[in-house]
Structure 1
Amino acid sequence: MKILHILDHSLPLHSGYTFRSQNILRAQRRMEFDPVVVTSPKHEEGTGEDGPTIEQINDFIYYRTGGARTFPVPLASEAWLMHKLSRRIIEVARIEQPDILHAHSPILNAIPALWAGRKLELPVVYEIRAFWEDAAVDHGTYAEGSWKYKLTQSLETMVCTRADQVAILCNGLKEDLVRRCIPSDKITPVFNGVDPQDFKSSPPDAEYQQQWGLAGKTVIGFIGSFYRYEGLDLLVRAFADACREREDAVLLLVGGGETENELKKLVEELGIGDRVIMPGRIPHERIPGVYALVDVLAYPRNPMRLTELVTPLKPLEAMAMGKVLIASDVGGHRELIQHGQNGLLFPAGNGDALAQALSDVLSDTQLCDHIRAHAPEWVVKYHSWQKTTAVYRDIYAKALHTEKILEPQSAQGKS
């Protein structure tokens, strides 16, 4: 069965979005589906130039749409983008002859997929990874409750009503859609996952260890994008409080983003510049070796609608690596973390509670040993990509109005 995925952007750009997409493609290939991809003009916006019309990356075919025009009139740019993408979807579908169109958020991909699906008489699956109007609020693009926010939200609801099936990232998103009167049996979670072969106990990255001066240090770390909702300013302050008397402790913040300069300024103000390492972004393939350098991972996400509804990927990676993790008790974290078993939760937005949690794990070796032993087992059992993507068989069967898509004989023979 051939699936045409419609993505906002993809590799070679690096983001949580592109890595999830790549893992879905890999998982579907193992399931003996035949996935191909067309990307939105947003991909060219990310690269800064129009590249080739077709690319092959990691043995997958990516059809590009080319850049979009910008208009001064409100919503005209979005309308042009959707028109251009719908034409490209139709072109690619006539070449590849897919059985299903699988559009991934945002709605700027879903609406063109619905247009193309109607013209081609193909079923459309819409997969929501986050409500992009909520991300726009955090980025300051527009305010919650503004006309743009309400318009985006109503269009999202309309798309979910018209799509044949809806896949979502986590239960928080499903509950929100059910409150909008989208039938529960039309919505299926496709949870985030990890490949246990990519994230497992491994040696520390020796080059980075020397370059960052981490030998003999107790390392508290964060690896990811520096979005405002991540609450990294809270982590910096909590580290300064909790580790004031622990000269061996350092804070490692790997990544970059909108709050990077603010964080550097805060570090200077607190006088802890010699104990906070901010090396910037690193190649994706070296991330396991960096996890191996860290003793405790911290995820202090701020409470807001986005973090309450959406589950992150990074805590799963940390668990798979057998790391101790501390996270705020926003809804997205509560879906993943069992307090005291595979991690620790603290009240979101409470810097004193985060500082206390850091102090607790740095002094309680028995608790840390328990988490390190339990977390990898839990991830393999519930959140491997093989486990989380298996539901696509049911999603596609419902979209095609067929009873069941059977596993291939090769897969059945392995079970």
Structure 2
Amino acid sequence: MLISVVSPDLSHNCLGRAYVLAQLIEQNYDVEIVGPKLKGTVWEPIKDEYEYKGVETGSRVYQFPFAVPSLLDRISGDLVYVSKPRTTSYGLGLLATIGRDRPLILDIDDWETGFSYRHGRLETVLKGVPRLASMNSYYYKRFLEALSGVADARSVSNHFLQDRFSGTLVPHAKDTEKLDPSRFEKSAVRNDLDLPAEEFLVMFVGTPQPYKGVHNLAKAVTEIGRDDVQTVIVGAHDSEYVDKVRRLGGDSIIIRGMQPFDKIPKWIAAADAIAIPQENSPATWGQMPSKVFDAMAMGKPVIASDVSDLPIVLEGCGRIIKPGDVGELRESILALYNDPELCEELGTKARQRCVKKYSYNALAPVVEELVSTAYISA
């Protein structure tokens, strides 16, 4: 059986979730990834992982509808599995399945309207009207979230979304064979990546955004005031926010750009600890950072905010702090810095937990059952 995974944008980091779904699906079925390329290219970190079936278009109402026939022609699966309740994915999936004998599964890995609310609900509602020119703007997402029950089945990435939309829980799975700390030696990796050899490196891996609290990490390390404790940001892009983080970090921060997926294990291997200092906001309530599972698979101690499922995932194998509490973040970093045995213990437990609960081997059967049930029931 061939399954079509539909991404809302092959050019954006949202392709990452579609990629994970495809990786889980292909353990049992044939798979293809289809979607618009809203910026004309495939997202750099995984551009060579699949032969993506994309169409170059834009998200505006005078652009995307004209690409729909070409996109529908590329969706050739016996079942359609769409990523995110957006017009450019779920809307496309509805058109591809309604009136046809093939089921539709909707995956929700973020609370889409919650991202819009990060600037305030009133502002979002008022500014949403002129933004209707974009097919993926607030009111379209809100409408499609309301239609989530039309899908034959749903999967979600965390408990907040499960409570809101129901569905099968499918966390961000990881290939724990590729993400294996035994494949790397820290000093050699640091030398290859041109990172300091002896310093205690606290790393953030991902796209820096205000709601991810990267500025608080920069502040915390700066306040420690030790030359041998540094922040490393991996995955940065040019933005005012990144410039702000760079200013806050001063001499204690190292910032590197986006990296291919296959290089992420090497970067994490170079770290002493991983920080995921999420803010407490509608943008994070329904979001589960994928990079926490990368860190766990690589046997690294993780410091994370008490947001979404992070306390559940890191139970007994990580340090949980209050969102936005720079002082608590600083003290957690120092606790790991001062206790190498604690770092090793937390990292070992995190690796074991990831292999057991969040690996491809652990979650592929969950997706296989979801797909087979939806197919038989349709």
TM-score category by the smaller chain? Answer: 0.7 to 0.9
Aligned twin of 2:133 = none
1:81 and 2:64 matched: yes
Name which of 53, 67, 79 aligns with 2:57.
Answer: 67
Aligned twin of 1:103 = 82
- The 5-angstrom pairing of residues 295-310 of structure 1 reads 295-310=272-287
1:155 and 2:138 matched: no
- Contact 2:317 2:346 (C-alpha < 8 Å) held by counterparts: yes
- Contact 2:5 2:18 (C-alpha < 8 Å) held by counterparts: no
Structure 1 residue runs of 5 or longer lacking an equivalent are 49-55, 71-75, 178-183, 404-415
Q: Matches of 1:372 and 1:292 in 2, distance apart?
A: 11
- Contact 1:101 1:123 (C-alpha < 8 Å) held by counterparts: yes
Secondary structure at the aligned position of 2:70 is classed as helix
Q: Matches of 1:196 and 1:207 in 2, distance apart?
A: 19
- Contact 1:200 1:320 (C-alpha < 8 Å) held by counterparts: yes
Secondary structure at the aligned position of 1:199 is classed as coil
Q: How big is the shift at 1:140? A: 9.4
Bigger shift: 306-315 or 155-164? 155-164
- Contact 1:111 1:159 (C-alpha < 8 Å) held by counterparts: no
Q: Matches of 2:90 and 2:121 in 1, distance apart?
A: 21
- The 5-angstrom pairing of residues 9-408 of structure 1 reads 9-10=9-10, 15=13, 17-31=14-28, 33-42=29-38, 44=40, 57-58=48-49, 60-68=50-58, 70=60, 76-77=61-62, 80-82=63-65, 84-85=67-68, 87-93=69-75, 96=76, 98-108=77-87, 109-138=89-118, 143-146=123-126, 148=128, 151-152=139-140, 154-177=142-165, 184=166, 187-201=167-181, 202-204=184-186, 206=188, 208-209=190-191, 212-242=194-224, 244=225, 246-257=226-237, 258=239, 259-267=241-249, 272-273=250-251, 275-338=252-315, 341-402=316-377
Aligned twin of 2:132 = none
Cα 1:342–1:331, aligned 2, differ >3 Å: closer, same or farther? same
Q: Matches of 1:379 and 1:392 in 2, distance apart?
A: 17
Q: Matches of 1:214 and 1:14 in 2, distance apart?
A: 31
The two structures, once aligned, show a CA RMSD in angstroms of 2.9
Aligned length: 363
* Max Rg structure: 1
Q: Matches of 1:217 and 1:127 in 2, distance apart?
A: 41
Q: What whole-Å deviation, never above 9, does each CA across 1:305-344 have from its counterpart, x for those lacking one?
A: 2212221111111111111111111123223111xx2110
Q: Matches of 1:115 and 1:136 in 2, distance apart?
A: 25
Q: Matches of 1:204 and 1:36 in 2, distance apart?
A: 36
Q: Matches of 1:206 and 1:14 in 2, distance apart?
A: 32
Cα 1:332–1:139, aligned 2, differ >3 Å: closer, same or farther? farther
Cα 1:132–1:192, aligned 2, differ >3 Å: closer, same or farther? same
Q: How big is the shift at 1:126? A: 1.1
Q: TM (normalized to structure 1)?
A: 0.79
Aligned twin of 1:412 = none
Structure 2 residue runs of 5 or longer lacking an equivalent are 129-136
Cα 1:280–1:115, aligned 2, differ >3 Å: closer, same or farther? closer
Secondary structure at the aligned position of 2:314 is classed as coil
Residue identity matched to 2:284: T
Q: TM (normalized to structure 2)?
A: 0.86
- Contact 1:139 1:228 (C-alpha < 8 Å) held by counterparts: no
Q: Matches of 1:213 and 1:61 in 2, distance apart?
A: 34
Residue identity matched to 2:3: I
Question: What's the % identity of the aligned pairs?
Answer: 19
Q: How big is the shift at 1:383? A: 0.3
Q: What whole-Å deviation, never above 9, does each CA across 1:147-190 have from its counterpart, x for those lacking one?
A: 7376345413332121111111111111122xxxxxx4xx1121
